[in-house]
Structure formats: structure tokens, C-alpha cells
């Protein structure tokens, strides 16, 4: 990550105070949409022909004594609450000048009073439209449901659906484990309690916005896809989720148990300069974010995806790896769409400055040996054959893409196919010309095509040089497929080649590129290399 802006961490350019945002009167809002909720009356605005309600609180502010506590109900408000500006994003590192791939993961203002959501709807009526809840990614330390990237306007307008995006606690405020070993009786995974609270809010309130609480699709990308899987199989979410979309889920991450979190928690407390939880509750969030930045180096391992925080299998809020829940219990019968980008790992490893351009064959062989032991030379050769002229860094990127994203997704698809459960699989193959083509079809690149809102991505470097005609054609195919899945659980639509479900015989996978086509066993090389020829 780049250098964090100290000024942004301290305050951020806030046009109004939180109190002013919540009580201001928009005198130009003649005909603005209103909703009457159990919590109080609310006035929204309109954008692109759809109604939008921003900064809607779905839980109590997790501040003071509620810091590192499970999400609590919001007390509501009196009078008319203005819902025309986004709430602040969760505290997170801010990269001054943006990053060379997305351009930015989250932008000020930041505040630990961040548990708000946003709703886009064709009309706040009683039409009971399908609902899509979007959960952003960001390596568990960054991101925001308030980013223009994730505006629900296109989905609401093009698909006649209601879209919800949300902010939830990130980094140490959401993922730091402070269990009994650190004097704290509460369980972990505060991010998960936030997301569960948001789903309950949707179930109880979305009908007021024209949505159907009995037809809710939860979709997420990267860390947000792991969240989606955790929610789908969670006992507290039964009846709140009806189908899911998993975009680049990092199911290859080994999630720690409480004992496995102890060293990292101690490291964080040392970086902050406190020794107990009560003292930590008094620390301004800016110092917590600064300590997060200090953890990236010590927590990094060569050839692995970098993140200082992970969900914890605490046995209370999360009893097993989220991917396992999709093969059993209530989640087994859900409609599932899952996919990955062809070159996931290029996002972190491909660009100069990432530290991998000069990787040697010996280094990569040692990294492969972590997984394949003495078989590392044969695996290296197998990757070389799939990419003639490849360098050691290319083999490394293909390995990490497989281990963290593609192969675990294939394992899920294989498992559900064996059970006769519905699953639709895709691979995003479109390579961007940005950065002299080094990124390929990198992690996150499918997002602007899924949302179909390229104007909102004008500052994203990874779209530079993409030809507009190809871009729009591929976006139409993907955007409409997502709409179709949200509406009825199948991604097929008239503008798309037939997309059969992933089954044991065919392993049909939709390939999204300048030419879209369904292919049998598209990721067969990865599947055979990692899962064995018997699968």
C-alpha cells in the first residue's frame, strides 16, 4: 500500500458535520421521495430516474463502550431525517494520490460512526421488487459501500430491482480478535455482526422501499464474497438470504482460530502502545489505522496475498470456514453464482514496485513447495507449459491465482455439482491494456462491467486504453446476467449464449471476454493440477 495521508486520517475533508447532515433541509427537494419506517420518517433524493436514500443507519454507532461489541439496534430519530448524502466510510488507510490499479479503495470522510447503508429503488411503493444487497471487498481493511463504483443506480433502473450497499467495520475495528486471552469476554468478527444487522434491517424495512424481503440476493466481491458466504450459511441469517453471487471469493485463505490470532493481536496492541482492551477503547481511530499500516510489513509473507487482519473461526459468531457452509445446512439449496478473473493475483504482484518482477525460479519453486512439497518442479513445469515464454513471476501469479481464488471456487462448484445443487460458474478473461498489459484480467477488473457504470470509474487506472465498443458490449452481457440472476436465480438472458449450470459431466463455465461463450471445463488445467485427475 502507498503512503497514508496523515491529514486524511485525522479528519478528512468533511463538508458538513454529522449533525448538520442529518438535520439539513433540502429546500429544492420538491417531490423528493419519502419513506415512513419504524425508526422514523426519511426523505431521499433522485438520481438517474431512480429514488435513492443515503446514509441510512442500520445499527447504533459502534463508539465508546460499543467499540468491539456486536452491532446493537439503532434508537431511531424524531422529525424527518434527510437521506441525501452518504454516511462516512469506516476508518481505513487512505492512499494519497490513489493506487495504480483501482485509483482508490475508500475516500474521506472516515468515522467510526459508520454503520449506514444506501438504497436505490425505482420507486418507494409496494411493488415487492427483487432485492440485491452488495457487500464491498477491500482485503478486510478498506473499501466502502458509498463508493461511486458501487452505485446501485444502474441495477435499479435497468433491472427494476432494489439495491442496498452498506458500510461495515473494517481493519482492527471489525476484525481484531480480543477474546478471553486479552481480557475481553465478547466473541470476534464484529464485521459479521454488522452485516447480520444490515440483513435484518433489510428484512424488516425493504418493503417500504418497494422491495421484497422474501427475494433477497446477497452479492459480494473478494472479501465481500467471503462475507456473502459467511452470511448465507449463518444460523442467524436463515430466511434473510435467498441466493448469492460470489465474485472472486478468497476461499483459499486459511482462517485462524482464537489461538492463531493471539500473536497478531499482541503485535497490534504493541503498535498502538496500550496493553489492555479498556485502554484501547479510548484510542482515537486515527491511531488504530496508523497501527494497521505498521502491521503490513510484519504480517507479509513472500508470494502470499497481503492482509494484516482476517476473520476468525471463534466457534460463536463463525463456527467453520464460510465456504464449507455452502455445502450443507440451509445454504445448500440456495442458487449460487461464482466466478473469478483469469489473472487474479496480477492485482498485487504484476506491477513494478510490488517486489516480484525480479523473482527467481528458486524462489518460486520454494513457494510452490509450500503446497506441493517435493512435487514442486513438476508443478512449475506444468505452469510453464500453459504460458509459453513465462517468467518465474508469471508462474507465481498463476499459482497464487489458483490457490487463493480459482481452485477453491472450483472445489465448491464440484462439491455442489456432486450434490445436485445449483451453481453457475464464470471466468472473466478480458485483459486490460493498462500498464502495458501487465495486469491482464486482474482481480477487480470485472466490477465496472458488472455494474455497467463506467463513468463512475473514470479515475480507475486499470481501465485506461479499453476500447469503448468492446467495453460496452461485454458490460451489457455481464450486467444483464447479474440482473437476471437477482430476479429469478438464473443468469441466462436473450443477449447471452446459453449458460448451463456447472455439472459434473460438462463443468460448463461462462467465459467473459470480447467474445462471450460457454465452455466445458474452462479451468481444467488448474482443476487437474490441484484437485487431481479423479475429479
Q: Is residue 1 part of a domain?
A: no
Residue 5 pLDDT: 39
pLDDT beyond 60 at 425: yes
Instruction: Find the mean pLDDT for residues 325-337.
Output: 88
Residue 73 and residue 113 in one domain: yes
Residue 468 pLDDT: 93
pLDDT in tens, 255-278: 999 999 999 999 999 999 998 888
Cell (9 digits) for 447: 466490477
Q: Is residue 387 part of a domain?
A: no
Q: Is residue 371 part of a domain?
A: no
Q: Is residue 376 part of a domain?
A: no
Residue 348 and residue 307 in one domain: no
Residue 333 pLDDT: 87
Instruction: Find the mean pLDDT for residues 131-159.
Output: 97
Residue 17 and residue 146 in one domain: yes
Residue 443 and residue 512 in one domain: yes
d(CA 130, CA 231): 18
Whether 218 and 135 have beta carbons less than 8 Å apart is answered as yes
Residue 97 pLDDT: 79
Instruction: Find the mean pLDDT for residues 273-284.
Output: 92
Q: Pick the closest to residue 132 from 142, 145, 143 (CA basis).
A: 145
What are the φ/ψ torsions at residue 424 (nearest 5 degrees)?
A: -115, 130
Q: Is residue 372 part of a domain?
A: no
Q: Pick the closest to residue 68 from 177, 144, 163, 147 (CA basis).
A: 177
Whether 247 and 219 have beta carbons less than 8 Å apart is answered as yes
203, 234, 443, 479: which one is catalytic?
A: 443
Cα-based angle 522, 414, 384 (whole degrees, multiple of 5): 40
How far, in Å, are 160, 273, 426 from residue 218 at the CA level?
16, 39, 17
- Total of domains in the chain: 2
Beta-carbon contacts of residue 247 (< 8 Å; ≥ 6 apart): 219, 220, 221, 222, 224, 225, 339, 446, 447, 450
Residue 436 pLDDT: 95
Residue 317 and residue 346 in one domain: no
Q: What percent of the chain has pLDDT over 90?
A: 83
Residue 131 pLDDT: 98
β-bridge partners, 35: 42
Residue 430 and residue 313 in one domain: no
pLDDT in tens, 44-89: 999 999 999 999 999 999 999 999 999 999 999 999 999 999 999 9
What are the DSSP calls for 452-482, one per residue? Answer: T-GGGGTT-GGGTT--HHHHHHHHHHHHHHH
344, 403, 414, 446: which one is catalytic?
A: 344
d(CA 272, CA 289): 9
In the predicted model, what is the mean pLDDT of the chain? 92
Residue 422 and residue 491 in one domain: yes
Q: Is residue 385 part of a domain?
A: no
d(CA 319, CA 257): 10
Residue 182 pLDDT: 67
DSSP code, position 4? B
**Known catalytic residue: 65?**
no
pLDDT beyond 80 at 185: no
Residue 245 and residue 344 in one domain: no
**Known catalytic residue: 242?**
no
DSSP code, position 337? E
3-state secondary structure 15-62: CCCHHHHHHCCCCCCCCCCEEEECCEEEECEEECCEEEEEEEECCCCC
d(CA 108, CA 96): 11
**Known catalytic residue: 443?**
yes
Residue 389 pLDDT: 86
Beta-carbon contacts of residue 196 (< 8 Å; ≥ 6 apart): 71, 231, 234, 236, 237
Q: Pick the closest to residue 120 from 52, 216, 167 (CA basis).
A: 52
Q: How many CA atoms lie within 13 A of 61 on its CB side?
A: 10
pLDDT beyond 80 at 24: no
Q: Are strands 45-47 and 50-57 parallel, antiparallel or unpaired?
A: antiparallel
pLDDT in tens, 222-268: 999 999 999 999 999 999 999 999 999 999 999 999 999 999 999 99
Q: Is residue 332 part of a domain?
A: no
Residue 320 and residue 342 in one domain: no
| Host domain of residue 143 | 6-325
Residue 215 and residue 73 in one domain: yes
With 0-12 / 13-18 / 19 or more C-beta atoms within 10 angstroms meaning exposed / middle / buried, residue 468 is exposed
pLDDT in tens, 190-208: 999 999 999 999 999 999 9
Residue 180 and residue 94 in one domain: yes
Q: Is residue 383 part of a domain?
A: no
Residue 169 and residue 285 in one domain: yes
Look up the CATH number of the domain holding residue 286.
3.40.50.1820
222, 248, 401, 508: which one is catalytic?
A: 222
Amino acid at each position: 500500500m502507498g503512503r497514508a495521508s496523515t491529514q486524511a486520517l485525522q479528519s478528512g475533508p468533511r463538508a458538513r458535520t454529522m449533525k448538520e447532515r442529518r438535520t439539513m433541509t433540502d429546500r429544492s427537494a420538491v417531490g423528493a421521495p419519502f419513506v415512513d419506517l419504524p425508526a422514523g420518517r426519511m426523505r431521499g433524493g433522485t438520481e438517474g430516474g431512480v429514488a435513492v436514500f443515503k446514509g441510512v443507519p442500520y445499527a447504533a454507532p459502534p463508539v465508546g463502550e460499543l467499540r468491539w461489541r456486536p452491532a446493537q439496534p439503532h434508537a431511531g430519530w424524531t422529525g424527518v431525517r434527510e437521506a441525501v448524502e452518504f454516511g462516512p466510510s469506516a476508518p481505513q488507510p487512505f492512499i494519497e494520490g490513489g493506487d495504480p490499479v483501482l485509483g482508490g479503495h475508500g475516500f474521506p470522510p472516515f468515522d467510526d460512526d459508520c454503520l449506514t447503508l444506501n438504497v436505490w429503488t425505482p420507486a418507494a411503493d409496494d411493488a415487492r421488487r427483487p432485492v440485491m444487497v452488495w457487500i464491498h471487498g477491500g482485503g478486510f481493511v478498506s473499501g466502502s459501500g458509498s463508493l461511486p463504483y458501487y452505485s446501485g443506480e444502474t441495477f435499479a433502473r435497468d433491472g427494476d430491482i432494489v439495491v442496498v450497499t452498506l458500510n461495515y467495520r473494517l481493519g482492527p475495528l471489525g476484525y481484531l480478535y480480543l477474546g478471553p486471552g486479552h481480557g475481553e469476554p465478547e466473541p470476534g468478527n464484529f464485521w459479521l455482526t454488522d452485516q447480520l444487522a444490515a440483513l435484518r434491517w433489510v428484512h424488516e424495512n425493504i418493503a417500504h422501499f418497494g422491495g421484497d424481503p422474501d427475494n433477497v440476493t446477497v452479492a459480494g466481491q473478494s472479501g465481500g464474497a467471503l462475507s456473502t458466504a459467511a452470511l448465507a450459511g449463518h444460523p442467524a441469517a436463515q430466511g434473510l438470504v435467498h441466493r448469492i453471487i460470489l465474485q472472486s471469493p478468497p476461499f483459499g485463505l486459511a482462517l485462524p482460530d482464537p489461538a492463531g490470532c493471539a500473536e497478531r493481536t499482541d503485535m497490534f496492541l504493541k503498535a498502538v502502545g496500550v496493553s489492555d482492551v479498556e485502554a484501547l477503547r479510548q484510542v482515537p481511530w486515527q491511531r488504530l489505522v496508523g497501527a494497521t499500516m505498521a502491521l503490513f510489513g510484519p504480517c507479509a509473507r513472500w508470494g502470499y496475498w497481503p492482509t494484516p487482519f482476517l476473520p476468525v473461526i471463534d466457534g460463536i459468531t463463525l463456527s467453520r470456514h464460510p465456504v464449507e457452509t455452502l455445502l450443507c445446512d440451509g445454504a445448500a439449496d440456495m442458487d449460487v453464482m461464482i466466478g473469478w478473473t483469469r489473472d487474479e493475483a496480477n492485482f498485487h504482484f504484476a506491477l513494478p514496485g510490488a517486489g516480484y518482477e525480479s523473482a527467481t525460479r528458486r524462489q518460486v519453486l520454494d513457494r510452490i513447495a509450500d503446497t506441493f512439497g517435493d512435487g514442486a518442479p513438476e508443478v512449475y513445469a506444468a505452469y510453464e507449459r500453459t504460458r509459453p515464454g513465462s517468467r518465474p513471476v508469471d508462474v507465481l501469479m498463476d499459482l497464487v491465482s489458483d490457490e487463493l481464488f480459482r481452485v477453491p471456487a472450483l472445489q465448491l462448484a464440484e462439491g455442489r455439482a456432486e450434490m445436485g445443487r445449483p451453481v453457475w460458474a464464470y471466468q472473466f478473461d478480458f485483459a486490460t491494456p493498462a500498464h502495458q498489459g501487465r495486469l491482464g484480467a486482474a482481480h477487480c477488473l470485472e466490477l465496472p462491467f458488472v455494474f455497467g457504470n463506467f463513468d463512475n470509474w473514470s479515475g480507475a487506472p486499470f481501465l485506461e486504453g479499453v476500447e469503448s465498443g468492446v467495453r460496452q458490449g461485454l458490460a451489457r452481457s455481464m450486467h444483464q446476467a447479474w440482473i437476471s440472476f437477482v430476479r429469478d436465480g438464473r443468469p441466462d438472458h436473450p443477449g447471452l449464449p446459453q449458460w448451463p449450470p456447472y455439472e459434473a459431466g460438462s463443468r460448463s463455465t461462462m467465459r467473459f471476454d470480447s467474445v462471450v461463450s460457454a465452455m466445458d471445463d474452462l479451468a481444467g488445467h488448474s482443476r487437474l493440477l490441484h484437485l487431481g485427475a479423479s475429479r
